């Protein structure tokens, strides 16, 4: 931490962003001390909350922080759920929510957005272009679009459209210089929208890097055509295994925009969805059909047939739920799907579909071992038809109560047990570079190069130096 005292530092930062945009008030700091994963990522207070208005201010703040060795944690909206915005070494939380510019390029089907733009604002801005949409996660509508795309999210329609919606970005590096990863570098370029640049695609270097290499000040994101029709369906099955083959086929045959293989323990369904009436575990797939009226009808017939061959019973969703899913693309989202009470733990990974049954069975066993039986909600979603429906997002979620010390211990142990079990079964990688899941030292040469690049770009290790993987 810096040699200058806090009050002098605050005065200096205030000269850059204005007095009203820097705070050392305990009331502001305490709000950033923890997130709902405090069982696995310990709380820690930042020293300053700083709210820059533009990239020039960010450049000055970063230069100042670098000179004084003050850690910086970029902050989109702080709801990543895994402690990525906890200032483990103190320093600055750089709150980017004042940077809300949105520019839509209808012709190129992209938007240029600031890091403070959230999904409500993005979706609302696109209401002016009824033939276009962005892909929104099942996250609260306050999530930063850029942070979500930079981290690579999971989306209801990931089976058809994948998980990468970010094309290029503008980044303020720890030395205060600006890097544009797009085609803007080409002399006379018509714009920064293209990821096909003169050499390696540096966007990928900054993606999923959780604010450890610089501050993203602008992102260029993909927009997609709005389909004529979106129809969600549910399919009930008798057991977990029966859901796997149909899901793989839906993805491979490109019949669906999204297929979510899911289970709910009785207690999970009541805390998760506020639904009643489940006495035993529910095995249910959620399907999103998209396209023209005719395509949707044709695909629906095939889906029903494939599901029936595995004893799956297809149903239309109740009207109110179907409407909510469809409106996600046009809405101001009126509710957050997800848990209604308590805390939710998850350990998301990418794995081949062939390993998912074992992952589910081990998750059940490990919940039981750690006194969390009856709380599991398990999800698996193929994320691109290209891999034959095999490349799959997997998420065992457990409802827990952070107010009970014994449950905090149980969740800590479950977290360690499931991490180990999944690595033993075989995964492609963890969903995001969350604290406690990835350690670059376990990744051989890949990790070594990653750390070297980090050192080159951020020699003073000021950028998000807490628990992210680059220790």
Ligand X SMILES: Cc1cc2nc3c(=O)[nH]c(=O)nc-3n(C[C@H](O)[C@H](O)[C@H](O)COP(=O)(O)OP(=O)(O)OC[C@H]3O[C@@H](n4cnc5c(N)ncnc54)[C@H](O)[C@@H]3O)c2cc1C
Site residues (CB under 6 A) for ligand X?
73-81, 84-85, 96, 115, 137-140, 143-144, 146-148, 151, 153-154, 210-211, 215-216, 336, 338, 464
Closest C-alpha among 46, 44, 50 to residue 10: 50
R_g over Cα of the chain: 23
437 in Cβ contact with 419 (< 8 Å): yes
For residue 77, give both structure tokens.
Answer: 């909206």
Q: How far apart are CA 140 and CA 124, in angstroms?
A: 15
Q: How far apart are CA 448 and CA 278, in angstroms?
A: 49
Comparison of 157 and 415: residue with beta carbon closer to ligand X: 157
Comparison of 156 and 389: residue with beta carbon closer to ligand X: 156
Comparison of 207 and 234: residue with beta carbon closer to ligand X: 207
- Angle (CA) 217-115-89 rounded to 5° is 85
Comparison of 93 and 425: residue with beta carbon closer to ligand X: 93
Least Å distance, CB 206 to ligand X, is 8
Least Å distance, CB 211 to ligand X, is 3
Specify the pairing of strand 22-23 against strand 376-382. Answer: unpaired
Token pair 């602008």 in the structure block, residue: 218
Residue nearest ligand X, Cβ-based:
153
Closest C-alpha among 438, 442, 445, 430 to residue 468: 438
Exposed / middle / buried, residue 302 (Cβ in 10 Å: 0-12, 13-18, 19+): middle
Q: How many whole angstroms from its chain centre is CA 401?
A: 23
Least Å distance, CB 133 to ligand X, is 16
Comparison of 227 and 258: residue with beta carbon closer to ligand X: 258
Least Å distance, CB 463 to ligand X, is 8
Least Å distance, CB 78 to ligand X, is 5
Comparison of 138 and 201: residue with beta carbon closer to ligand X: 138
Least Å distance, CB 294 to ligand X, is 30
């Amino acid at each position: 931490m810096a040699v200058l005292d806090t009050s002098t530092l605050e005065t200096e930062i205030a000269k850059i962003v204005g007095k009203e945009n820097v705070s050392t008030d305990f009331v502001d700091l305490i709000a950033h001390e923890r997130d709902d994963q405090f069982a696995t990522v310990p709380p820690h207070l930042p020293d300053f909350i700083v709210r820059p208005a533009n990239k020039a201010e960010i450049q000055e703040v970063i230069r100042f922080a670098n000179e004084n060795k003050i850690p910086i944690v970029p902050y989109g909206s702080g709801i990543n759920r895994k402690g990525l915005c906890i200032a483990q070494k103190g320093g600055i939380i750089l709150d980017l929510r004042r940077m809300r510019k949105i520019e839509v390029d209808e012709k190129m089907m992209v938007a240029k957005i600031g890091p403070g733009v959230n999904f409500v604002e993005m979706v609302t801005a696109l209401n002016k272009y009824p033939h276009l949409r962005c892909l929104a996660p099942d996250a609260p509508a306050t999530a930063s679009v850029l942070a979500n795309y930079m981290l690579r999210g999971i989306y209801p329609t990931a089976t058809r459209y994948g998980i990468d919606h970010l094309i290029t970005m503008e980044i303020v590096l720890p030395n205060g210089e600006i890097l544009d990863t797009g085609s803007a570098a080409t002399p006379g370029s018509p714009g920064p929208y293209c990821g096909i640049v003169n050499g390696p695609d540096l966007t990928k270097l900054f993606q999923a890097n959780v604010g450890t290499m610089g501050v993203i000040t602008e992102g260029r994101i993909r927009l997609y055509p709005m389909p004529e029709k979106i129809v969600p369906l549910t399919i009930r099955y008798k057991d977990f295994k029966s859901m796997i083959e149909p899901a793989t086929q839906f993805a491979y045959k490109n019949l669906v925009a999204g297929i979510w293989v899911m289970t709910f323990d009785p207690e999970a369904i009541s805390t998760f969805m506020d639904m009643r009436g489940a006495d035993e575990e529910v095995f249910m797939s959620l399907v999103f059909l998209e396209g023209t009226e005719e395509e949707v009808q044709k695909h629906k017939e095939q889906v029903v047939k494939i599901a029936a061959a595995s004893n799956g019973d297809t149903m239309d969703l109740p009207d109110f739920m179907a409407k909510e899913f469809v409106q996600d693309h046009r809405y101001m989202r009126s509710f957050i799907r997800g848990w209604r009470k308590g805390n939710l733990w998850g350990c998301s990974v990418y794995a081949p579909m062939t390993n998912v049954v074992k992952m589910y069975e081990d998750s059940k066993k490990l919940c039981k071992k750690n006194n969390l039986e009856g709380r599991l909600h398990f999800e698996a979603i193929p994320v691109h038809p290209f891999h034959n429906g095999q490349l799959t997002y997997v998420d065992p979620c457990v409802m827990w109560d952070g107010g009970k010390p014994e449950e905090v211990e149980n969740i800590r142990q479950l977290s360690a047990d499931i991490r180990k079990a999944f690595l033993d079964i075989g995964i492609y990688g963890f969903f995001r570079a969350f604290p406690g899941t990835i350690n670059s030292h376990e990744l051989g040469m890949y990790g070594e190069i990653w750390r070297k690049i980090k050192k080159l770009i951020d020699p003073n290790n000021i950028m998000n130096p807490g628990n992210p993987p680059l220790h």
